[in-house]
A and B are shown apart, each in its own frame.
Chain A
Amino acid sequence: MNKQVELKNKKVIASSHVQLGQKNRMNQTYTDVNDIFYNSELAPNFLTGSEVIREAIKRSSVGTSVAYPITPQSEAAALIGEIYAEGYLDEYFRGESEFAVMGQCAGAAFGGHRVFTTTAGPGTLRAMENFPMWAGSRLPIQVCVTCRGVNSPLSIQPDTLEMYYLLETGMLVWHAETAQDLFDFILKGFIVAEQPDVHIPIAVCCDGFFVTHTKDTVNMPPLDLTLPPYDPYKAPVPCMDMEVAPIRMMRDPFVMKSNYISYATHASWQQEIRAACERSRKHTIPLLDGLIDEENTDREILIVASGTAVSQSREAIRLLDEDGIKVGLVKIKTIRPFPSEEIKRVTKNAKHIIVPEFNVTGWLAREIKAIIPDNERVLVGPHVCGGMTLPSEVIVEQIKIHLGMETEKLRM
């Protein structure tokens, strides 16, 4: 049966994985992510968040990026086009809608490329059908979500409601507080998402405008270092390039109705996607130094937040400290996987848990309430929405009211 086959002029294409230390066409050296962050000279740069995205992608060995205009990510998406023109990426083009863009990203990922794109607000929702498909297809695409309000009425302002919709897509969801986080999360996000035992998409979220359109100092590794390229042959599912034997994957298509095998396949696969997300912890914890950051969590009053709500909370804590009120802080970096054990541990002795948020529903507070004992300790809010800022004074006032203290009523 196993007869010799003539090879003609065809040769086997081995893994395209390029070894560490080799140089790419931009004369950058493929470098381990740990060496990039921990064994290289990081230099400060004063940049907008959009420029930070560009700088991160320059050092990420991305194959394809597909762009579409929507505020506030348009600038970042266009800047990636500029570095494509310089030669940093293999492919870049403008799609026709977010739904199509996420499909084009999927196509490139199915074909073995490392893929990066950006979106925001209504665009995230228009693209939504793609995200569970990415996860189910085990495509480690990275989408940077520069959060903005979800219509209607029309808003282009920052608001994290869209992250709530992403929570059950099966993707990794990380939330950057600052431009520095954004830079770090983009590079580290590729590495975690592409691990063979993870290999699912990742949404690196940041708060639109607050992060994308403000300037901040970001420490960056030199431009001659870049991540090792993606190796599609380490994926847990075959790369769709006909370089892997085209096995017949199933006797009956999964979609066939009334078929126990199809039910079992779906059930186990969906659990596997969620398990893959959980397995990302062991790669994420060393790279991000834990899924949460904690400051003075032995205190009775704790603020637990993610994104720029953390920055506002830091200032609120300083103001409260002036009044003799001691408050601890928990910054959540990964929303999926959710740091349940970590939050249970750090809130163990807290009497009051305050969760300020930039959205109308208070979804982060809900997530926390769902996992800790005695969840009446959680104060849902303060939250603002539709692009309003969340002044530190509002957080201070809410905490004082919650504690039954006199407050100087804030003038609106």
Chain B
Amino acid sequence: MSKEKIVMCEDLADIMPPEYQELVATATFGKQDRGWKDIGTSKELIEQHSLCAGCPESIAFRYILASLPAPEDTVFVGSTGCTSLVFPHVAVHNIHSLFGNQNAIASGLKRALAARFPDREKDVVVLAGDGATVDIGLDMTMQSWFRLEKFTTICFDNELYANTGGQESGLMQKGFVAKMAPKGKTFEKVKLAEIAREAGCAYVAVLTVSKPNRVEQVIKNAIFVAREIGPTFVQLYTPCILEIGKQSMEGLDEMKDSETIGGRFVQKEYITEEAQKLLDVIKEETKARKKAAKAAKKPVNA
């Protein structure tokens, strides 16, 4: 898509909703090196969210949308859960179909888009909760990795089924007492990152969303590697403050606690050699481009 597709007809512009007018005026579609720092100075691609106050998923959504390298050519595939309450407010095409089949949808979608647009890169990004990714949808999640489908899978890991009211999930910690685990969960948190690595993902990252620059980097890495090499997986800890008994303002602390040494979400990455080479090249190119841009900005005689 080029940005002209969202330009309004002049005669009708005044009756368009203000949020759409802002989108046309200042959204960062097509901007090179867009990132989380655009938040606050440009129109975000998420209009609002219908999540609980203070939900870390909402900030995760904002960082991810700000970090997409090419939102004008990106299609999201979601699943049922809290994320499906947010997607209707997002200015990027997104598909909700069923619960758990998101990686199957993305497989067909990515292939069809690749066939229809042979000269253009169309990024497909799956964004689903841990129930959808690991429990009901594990079959399709893993099979898409086995087939080396070239799209990114992002899992919002809140360690339980949030939208249905806090039931046990495969990514819940062992021993946690939850609905449907009245005596505490009896088995370990599923090692999804390792499963992803073994199943064929060329780039895997596990982290919280406490630091926007880190989120931006892994999202970009994951999408760049998916374009060129194969499946990529990002697992983000987005705690369900409601179901773990925290207050609205305690989400950030919960994430910071979990990523300190010995925590469940100390940042880790698994990168294949091929993927690392690609990321190194991109890093160099980006650095050179930014340096050149900076130099061009400087007055000649300064």
Residues of A within 8 A of B (CB): 1-3, 5-8, 10-13, 16, 63-64, 66, 90-91, 93, 95-97, 99-101, 103-113, 115, 129-130, 133, 137, 238, 240-250, 252-256
Contact = CB atoms under 8 A, between A and B. Distances in A.
A209 to B, nearest CB: 29
Interface in B57-87: 72-75, 77, 84-87
Contact of A108 (B50, B73, B109): B109
B112 A253 contact: no
Contacts of B24: 1-3, 5
Contacts of A255: 84-85
B112 A242 contact: no
Contact of B108 (A97, A111, A254): A111
A97 B138 CA distance: 13
B84 A111 contact: no
A252 B50 contact: yes
Interface stretch (B90-98, B200-208, B254-262): B90-98
A137 B97 contact: yes
Contacts of B108: 64, 66, 103-111, 113, 115
B107 A104 contact: yes
B150 to A, nearest CB: 13
A11 B92 CA distance: 19
Contacts of A133: 97-98
A369 B73 CA distance: 52
Interface in B1-34: 1-8, 10, 13-14, 17, 19-21, 24-25, 30
Contacts of A95: 104, 143
Nearest to A240: B93
Contact of A2 (B7, B97, B112, B147): B7
Interface string B102-114: 0011111111110
B77 A250 contact: no
B220 interface: no
Contacts of B116: 16, 63, 90, 111-113, 241
B171 interface: no
17 contacts: A1-B14, A1-B25, A2-B24, A7-B2, A10-B3, A12-B4, A103-B105, A104-B107, A104-B108, A106-B101, A243-B5, A245-B6, A246-B90, A246-B92, A248-B47, A250-B88, A252-B88
A152 to B, nearest CB: 22
B290 interface: no
A110 B47 contact: no
B48 to A, nearest CB: 9
A10 B75 contact: no
Nearest to A136: B97
Max chain A C-beta neighbours (<10 A), residue from B4, B86, B107, B108 = B108
A10 B30 contact: yes
B115 interface: yes
A100 B113 contact: no
Give the one of B19, B104, B122 with max A CB within 10 A. Answer: B104
A106 B139 CA distance: 17
A242 B104 CA distance: 19
